[in-house]
Amino acid sequence: MIDSRYPGGEPVHRLLADSNARVLHRILLSHGWPGYGLVGVEGAEAALRIALDAEPVVFLRTLLRILDSAVRRGDAPQHYRALLLDRFCVREGLPQRYGTHVRPGADGGCEVWPVEDPVLLPVWRAEVGLPLLPSEPTTVRIAGALDGEPRILR
């Protein structure tokens, strides 16, 4: 995996993210989702980070399908699917299910990207092993998340 924290701004980041996604695609074709059994915990986490940054949305849909299979086999945790599903929804402009992504808020902080059902949100998060959000999730502050790009909240 190429480290996308390389200084140089968004064009370099996108180039590195696309390169990482091509490598992940080759792994998917050969082995399926790179879960615990294939690459260990650190490798599986790296695969998730690459998947969360992947473009286009059609590739995210494919990643979700393949990740679903790995989660059912116990080769990836359920919260990986939650994070990737929410990323897919955010990229499509849809409400997210698990409340894992935030966006810049009007007060200079961050707010949780809209969710499907705020009442069921705690239940859905608990089902996949995610902690509860603060009682006022619209006031969540995350340093460095003010550039318009949704950020992940775990």
CB 76 within 8 A of CB 67: yes
Mean pLDDT throughout 32-36?
95
CB 4 within 8 A of CB 55: no
pLDDT tens column, 48-62: 999 999 888 899 999
The pLDDT-based confidence of 12 (bands split at 50, 70, 90) is confident
Q: Give ∠ CA 45-49-54 in degrees, rounded to 5.
A: 140
Cα(71)–Cα(81) distance, rounded to whole angstroms? Answer: 8
pLDDT tens column, 60-73: 999 999 999 999 99
Residue-level pLDDT at 74: 95
**Residue 124: is it exposed, middle or buried by C-beta count within 10 angstroms (0-12/13-18/19+)?**
middle
Domain ranges of the chain: 1-76, 95-154
